[in-house]
Structure 1
Amino acid sequence: MVALVKILLTGFEPFGGEAINPSWEAVKQLAGYKDSVISLMLPCTFAQSLAVLGQTARALEPDIILCVGQAGGRAAISLEKVGINLIEARIPDNQGQQPSGQPVVAGGPTAYFSTLPVKRLRAALETAGIPAEISYSAGTYVCNQVLYGACHLAAALPWGPKAGFVHIPYLPEQAARHPGSPSMALPTLVAALKRLCDELLAGTTEIEAVAGTTH
């Protein structure tokens, strides 16, 4: 009997004055998808985000940790390749904290690469007609902290889960408050995450391709 692959899919609570966060709005719709997806909302705080992620991962032992976050200004699904060991908060988090020049993990590696097959995932989204890109900069805010922290956690867990991060655009109702900002409709975001989960459930092997942006 083939063991069921478990995906821990996370989104964030709203932050930065927004009433909603597209990452959680999309992620929560995939709860229980194909009996494999566990949806989790992370706090947008430096002090708590990794603690919540780590506690949940250790309790549920997922095979794949796929974290999703909002990136206002981006027009495509951004598959992040690298998380860096640096926090430079451009705005305060949801607890009012704004650290600068601090490591995500003291004494940790300078960076971690996502262990998800980002090139294959990008190709799958483009085949589905969904704009997608590979990004080599996840920023230095809570999203990057979670990407780096998820990879650091996965490297330490005995069952060796894969880990990575995806940035998604504003929803249209958010973009209306930010003139000139691109957006993506919620059904498209949900379809994109379903496609990513389908690909990961099929395996985590990578393909050869050259692509990416540093934004």
Structure 2
Amino acid sequence: MKTILLTGFEPFAGETLNASWEVARRLHGTLAEDGSRVIAMQLPCVFERALRVLEERLDSLRPQTAVALGQAGGSPCVRLERVAINLDDACMVDNAGQQPVDVPVVHGGPTGYFSGLPIKAMASALRKVHIPVSVSHSAGTYVCNHVFYGLMHEAGRRESLKRAGFIHLPYLPEQVMRYLKAPAMSLETQLSAMRLALRVVQTIHKDEIFSEGTLD
């Protein structure tokens, strides 16, 4: 059976929830339109360790598609990430107390990678059903970008992995009680967004406007 690996992060920075994992875990075991089974996995919010866990799962599952989810606190919409850069520059410590500054994700790797997902087609599909969405040109320099870059680096080395990319999700409503006026999106809407996004990934094989590649 074909497999879609869907990852989310554990809570970090004192939070008790992470929207990315709450979405990913609820889609675990579901079937995409082409019959692919979604397998969800939680990643630690820790530099280097997150990539080791991801690589081990890629080895064991050999998925055809891998989509990593992260949480973008303060974002009012689903953010489809376009570019991963080869840089760790943490604004705060990770869950292991690490705070790398100006360190490459992969020594000797290219400056960046473009997403392997049809992100503009995904954005168009989400807008048609009135789900707030944007195409983002920066996934930051924290653990989300670290995983995004590492995933795209692995995609270039694994023949079985045909599509890969990263999506940032907003806070859930129950999270924003700690933050006055912080935007949020319901779990039901986020789940609908991800189901539709995965459907586009499985049916659109090349974005009409944006082509895949690396930044050299």
Q: Same fold (TM over 0.5)?
A: yes
Give the equivalent residue in structure 2 for 1:85. Answer: 86
Moved over 4 A (4+): none
Q: Secondary structure at the match of 1:88?
A: coil
Task: Give the Cα–Cα distance (whole angstroms) in 2 for the partners of residues 78 and 90 of structure 1.
Answer: 20
Give the equivalent residue in structure 1 for 2:21. Answer: 24
Unpaired runs of 5+ residues, structure 2, are 211-216
Distance apart, 1:208 and its partner CA: 2.8
Answer yes or no: is the 8 Å Cα contact 2:121–2:204 preserved in 1: no
Please tell me whether residue 11 in structure 1 is matched to residue 17 in structure 2: no
TM-score (norm 1): 0.92
Unpaired runs of 5+ residues, structure 1, are 210-215
Give the equivalent residue in structure 2 for 1:212. Answer: none
Answer yes or no: is the 8 Å Cα contact 2:172–2:185 preserved in 1: yes
Q: Secondary structure at the match of 1:156?
A: coil
TM-score (norm 2): 0.92
Superposed counterparts of 1:5-154, under 5 Å: 5-34=2-31, 35-154=36-155
Q: Which amino acid aligns with 2:159?
A: P
Residues matched between the structures, number: 206
Q: Which amino acid aligns with 1:179?
A: L
User: Aligned-residue CA RMSD in angstroms?
Assistant: 1.2
> Once the two structures are superposed, what CA deviation does each residue of 1:2-43 show, in whole Å capped at 9, x if it has no partner?
xx5421100000001111000000110101111521101001
Task: Give the Cα–Cα distance (whole angstroms) in 2 for the partners of residues 158 and 185 of structure 1.
Answer: 36
Residue identity over aligned pairs, in percent, reads 45
Superposed counterparts of 1:159-170, under 5 Å: 159-170=160-171
Distance apart, 1:44 and its partner CA: 0.4
Q: Which amino acid aligns with 1:56?
A: R
Q: Which amino acid aligns with 2:206?
A: T
